[in-house]
Amino acid sequence: MSIELAKQMEEARSYIASKIQIAPKVGLILGSGLGVLADEVEDAVEIPYSEIPHFPVSTVEGHASTFVFGKLSGTPVAVMKGRFHYYEGYTLSQVTFPVRVMKALGIETIVVTNAAGGIVPEWEAGDLMVIRDHLNLMFRNPLIGPNDDRLGPRFPDMSNAYAPELRTLAHEVAREQGLELREGVYVGLTGPSYETPAEIRMLRLLGGDAVGMSTVPEVIVANHMGIRVLGISCIANKAAGILDTPLSHDEVIEITKRIRSQFVALVREIVSRLK
């Protein structure tokens, strides 16, 4: 991170600000197969990432690559339909750049979602999980490099990286909707190969409940900038070795399609109650 970063953020911010009427309060990052939530945004203004200064372009199948600005259940939002993954070849600074731009636009809270593999043997594909905490097993950190003290501290606290009050809110809404909501620790790996059964056994021993290839870098940067985070994983498959069947990205997309409506209802209601 450098002084140059602040300048790039400002260029991206002002480009977006020139195209939108609202002042987003909440940011949403929609993971694989979960982009439908963006279709619910009212008075939507779409800005493809490719138009925005200094943005990389997303390439992975099953991911769109556009910002959607507007209102979701009355709350002004910035929705990322598609995100950048480390495994696509971007630096973590590129992966997390949109989070910084959303902060520059004024968001105070971010809802980060993903499709993940379930490590807890009893969990089923299609379950939803609130992220309580994470394990950064990407073994790299988006904050490495000179720190710009205007953006955040050199050594950010991560003891409540996933805001406790937002987790409580998510459980309240789920209860009202009669939805069973899991809670657990998300393990972030680089991918893009899925884990081996031995790795999944290791992750279980280490305290992981779900595993994926995103989220951790964005959440570190959100914490760096003082953004409150809510994380929700869609358990898209049982992790490797739990069943005999091979893992496929098609399966991940298929399951996320199946639980779409529950996911959309949950997140919509949570967003409507964010203050």
Q: So which residues are the catalytic ones? A: 32, 63, 85, 87-88, 115, 213-214, 237, 249
Cα distance between residue 41 and residue 206, in whole Å: 39
- The 3-class secondary structure across 132-178, one letter per residue, is EEEEECCCCCCCCCCCCCCCCCCCCCCCCCCCHHHHHHHHHHHHHCC
CB atoms within 10 A of CB 15: 16
- Piece of the chain touching ligand CYT by CB under 6 A; list 77-85, 149-157, 235-243, 256-264: 235-243
Which residue number, 40 or 195, has a Cβ lying nearer to ligand CYT?
A: 195
> Which tokens hold the place of 248?
């496929």
Query: Which of 104, 130, 143, 213 touches ligand CYT by CB under 6 A?
Result: 213
Which residue intervals of 24-154 are DSSP H helices?
A: 92-104
Residue located via tokens 């209802």: 265
Q: Which residues are annotated as a binding site?
A: 32, 63, 83-85, 115, 195, 214, 237
| Phi-psi sector, 191: left (phi>0), alpha (psi -120 to 50), beta | left
Cα distance between residue 6 and residue 34, in whole Å: 30
* Binding residues among 166-205 for ligand CYT as defined by CB under 6 A: 194-195
Size of the site for ligand CYT (CB under 6 A): 13
Cα distance between residue 43 and residue 19, in whole Å: 13
Length of the chain: 275
Which residue number, 65 or 237, has a Cβ lying nearer to ligand CYT?
A: 237
CB of 272 to ligand CYT, least distance (A): 28
Which residue number, 48 or 191, has a Cβ lying nearer to ligand CYT?
A: 191
Query: Which of 212, 217, 231, 266 touches ligand CYT by CB under 6 A?
Result: 212
| Phi-psi sector, 177: left (phi>0), alpha (psi -120 to 50), beta | alpha
Query: Which of 41, 68, 236, 266 touches ligand CYT by CB under 6 A?
Result: 236
CB of 62 to ligand CYT, least distance (A): 11
By the rule CB under 6 A, 239 interacts with ligand CYT: yes
CB of 191 to ligand CYT, least distance (A): 7
Which residue number, 76 or 117, has a Cβ lying nearer to ligand CYT?
A: 117
Cα distance between residue 156 and residue 154, in whole Å: 6
CB of 116 to ligand CYT, least distance (A): 5
> Which tokens hold the place of 68?
């959607």
> Does residue 153 contact residue 179 with C-beta atoms inside 8 Å?
no
By the rule CB under 6 A, 84 interacts with ligand CYT: no
Rounded alpha-carbon distances, angstroms, from residue 216 to 95, 211, 219: 10, 11, 5
Question: What does the per-residue mask of binding to ligand CYT show for 111-150, with x meaning CB under 6 A?
Answer: ----xxx---------------------------------
By the rule CB under 6 A, 262 interacts with ligand CYT: no
**Interface with ligand CYT by CB under 6 A: which residues?**
115-117, 194-195, 211-213, 236-237, 239, 247, 252
